[in-house]
Amino acid sequence: MNDSPSQLEPNLKVAPPMTIDPNSLSARELARRIKNGELSATSVIRQTLDRVTRVNPAINAIVQDCAEDAMAEAQYLDARIAAGDPVGPLAGVPVTIKVISDQTGYATTNGTTLAADLKATSDSPFLQNLRRNGAIVIGRTNTPAFSYRWFTSNKVHGTTLNPHNPDLTPGGSSGGAGAATSAGLGHIGHGTDIAGSVRYPAYACGIHGLRPTHGRIPMFNQTGGDRPIGAQLMAVSGPLARSVDDLRLALEGMSGYAADDPWSVPMPLRGPDFNRRVALVTHPGGINTDPRIVADLERSAEMFRSAGWTVETPDIPEIREAVDLQIDLWLSDDHAAKLTAARQENDPGAIALLEHYADRANAIDVAAFSQLFIRRAALVRAWRAFLGDYPVVLMPVSAELPFRKDEDLEGSETLTRLWESQLPQIAIPLLGLPAISISTGVENGVPSGVQLVAAPWREDICLTAGEVLEQGFGLPQIPE
């Protein structure tokens, strides 16, 4: 059968209209029912888009409308299923894509007016994989300008609000993905993470987020070409979802080797059995962790113990220096060009961040840049050895509960404090490790969560450990 939606055969029998809320089903169960004909993809996507129409105006999470394309893809999927054609494990599952990534026919804005008309003519490789596996894109989600901040607002798409509390940030840079997924606007949100931009929005919006190992999920934007070395080494795409199993299914659907991504590696998604041993770290690098987060970590440790895991409190390898190296490798490299673009965009958040680190960037020369990589190798080696003894590290996502909206615009002193609190997120990309942010619940409109870190290519350990905590804390709930 021709694989074009335009070749839909209108007389083929399809499933009856949707009679239940698709958000009451996991992504895996939703796809199963669509594939066996209990539900139609058309009804699922129509109901999801109707929810977007009702809910999204209040939070502005989805900023590029894909409704027409989504309905055409759903109709075509139903026709293929009715014809007996094989379909993928994500068949009919509604997903969102961050505006930082190429999607055919849509602008890859990265939250800027400078790229507002930069329309893609092909899909990024991870999106090709999602579509090949049957997922349907219902919309594209917001990001701060240049994806620099843990807050999500810009001049081209506006401000995204946290569905649980409009006075709090939805996180960044994948704040639109976090807000959309939290609000039930799609089962899976695509995000990107170079310093916490998947894990922090998940944390701030009361859901889960997975940062995979670098090279696991292929990425390339023809609209932007190749990126500087820091982004090439540390930036990844990853999923946000309301259940750990949805993250697992999303990881399976997004992963794989792609020729366009020189860093992509066709590694198996599951590794050998591992020792159920957890390292509990409540104050990594000496950060001043909020008492509620410490309590969440201690509760998490008890959940692991109750499930038969061993929990210990060893000293972890150096982590604070990893943050310094990450900042140098990401923000300092080509800093002058970054700052020029931020000023052209006239975005206060991007300008504040880059000016905050300007002196540090100006001190980087060729010798210092070379030394950076030497030190990185030593830190990576130490962490890999440690994770051989302790397959899971349980630590904060952040030292603080979710920040107030636009708190980073309150001055350099505040910015310093915010970046200090984000140490547990920022270090992980430099170290080349996968990590998962697990929601521990929402209290009085304020979400919280914890982070689990594993060895390279062991996302399966993150997911297995994450399910232990999900069973204890309960599934994240969509806010009313």
Among the listed residues 35, 98, 338, 405, the single catalytic one is: 98
CA 394 from chain centre, in angstroms, equals: 19
Instruction: Give the phi and the psi of residue 163 in degrees, each rounded to 5.
Output: -60, -25
Nearest to 260 by CA among 450, 125, 74: 125
Q: What does the pLDDT read at residue 16?
A: 53
What type of residue is 424?
P
pLDDT at 236: 98
Query: Could you tell me which of 14, 166, 184, 162 has the C-alpha nearest to residue 87?
Result: 14
- Judging by DSSP bridges, how do beta strands 94-98 and 136-141 pair with one another? parallel
The one catalytic residue in 26, 124, 153, 173 is 173
Question: In the chain, pLDDT over 90 holds for what percent of residues?
Answer: 94
Output helix, strand, coil percentages for the chain, rounded to the nearest 5.
45, 15, 40
Rounded Cα–Cα distance for residues 89 and 108 (Å): 27
User: What is the torsional sign of CA 211, 212, 218, 220?
Assistant: positive
- Distance separating alpha carbons of residues 372 and 63, to the nearest angstrom: 38
Distance of CA 58 to the CA centre of its chain: 22
* Segment 95-110, tens digit of pLDDT: 999 999 999 999 999 9
Catalytic-role residue among 26, 124, 147, 197: 197
Handedness of CA 146, 151, 152, 154 (dihedral sign): negative
Backbone angles phi, psi at 377, to 5 degrees: -60, -40
12 compared with 39, residue with greater pLDDT: 39
Q: What's the pLDDT score for residue 18?
A: 52
pLDDT tens readout for residues 132-166:
999 999 999 999 999 999 999 999 999 999 999 99
In the predicted model, is pLDDT for residue 1 greater than 70?
Answer: no
Count of other CB atoms within 10 angstroms of residue 276? 17
CA–CA gap between residue 279 and residue 268 (Å, rounded) = 25
| C-beta of residue 184 within 8 angstroms of C-beta of residue 80 | no
CB of 62 within 8 A of CB of 175?
Answer: no
404 DSSP 8-state letter = B
> What residues contact 373, with CB distance under 8 A and at least 6 apart?
none
pLDDT for the residue 6: 37
Measure the CA–CA gap between 79 and 349, rounded to whole angstroms. Answer: 47
Of 300, 290, 188, 204, the C-alpha closest to 242 is 188
Give me the residue label for tokens 């009715």. 82
Return mean pLDDT, the chain: 95
- DSSP code for 83: T
Active site residue 197: yes
The residue-averaged pLDDT of 34-39 equals: 97
> What's the mean pLDDT in 393-399?
99
The pLDDT of residue 11 is above 80: no
Tell me the C-alpha distance between 392 and 7, whole Å. Answer: 49
Mean pLDDT along residues 100-123: 98
Quick one: pLDDT band at residue 17, thresholds 50, 70, 90?
low
Could you tell me which residues come within 8 angstroms of residue 243 by beta carbon, excluding any fewer than 6 positions away? 26, 27, 208, 470, 475, 476
Say which residues have a Cβ less than 8 Å from residue 477's Cβ, sequence separation at least 6: 206, 442
Which region holds residue 171: left if phi is over 0, alpha if psi is between -120 and 50, else beta? left
Q: How confident is the model at residue 331 (pLDDT cuts 50, 70, 90)?
A: confident
Boundaries of every domain in the chain: 5-473
Distance CA 24, CA 384 (A): 39
Rounded distance between C-alpha atoms, residue 36 and residue 389, angstroms: 44
Q: What is the pTM of this model?
A: 0.95
- The answer to whether 106 and 119 have CB atoms below 8 angstroms apart is yes
CA distances from 386 to 7, 10, 316, 462 (A): 55, 59, 7, 16
Q: Which residue has the higher pLDDT, 8 or 402?
A: 402
How, if at all, do strands 310-312 and 277-280 pair?
parallel
Rounded distance, CA 194 to CA 268, Å?
23
pLDDT over 70, % of the chain:
96
Helix axes 244-254, 125-132, angle to 10 degrees: 110
174 included as an active-site residue: no
Residue 116 burial (CB < 10 Å; 0-12/13-18/19+)?
middle
Cα 377 to Cα 171, 363, 414, 480, distances in angstroms: 30, 21, 31, 47
pLDDT of 4 above 80: no
Q: What type of residue sits at position 442?
A: V
Q: Where does the pLDDT of residue 396 fall: very low under 50, low under 70, confident under 90, or very high at 90 and above?
A: very high
Active site residue 98: yes
Lowest mean pLDDT among 9-18, 436-445, 471-480: 9-18
pLDDT over threshold 80, residue 56 = yes
What average pLDDT does this structure show over 108-124? 98
- Domain 5-473 classification at class level: alpha beta
**Omega prior to 173 cis, within 30 of 0:** yes
pLDDT digits (tens, 9 = 90+) for 301-320: 999 999 999 999 999 999 99
Q: Which of 436, 120, 118 is nearest to 260 (CA)?
A: 120
User: Using the 8-state DSSP alphabet, how is residue 284 labeled?
Assistant: G
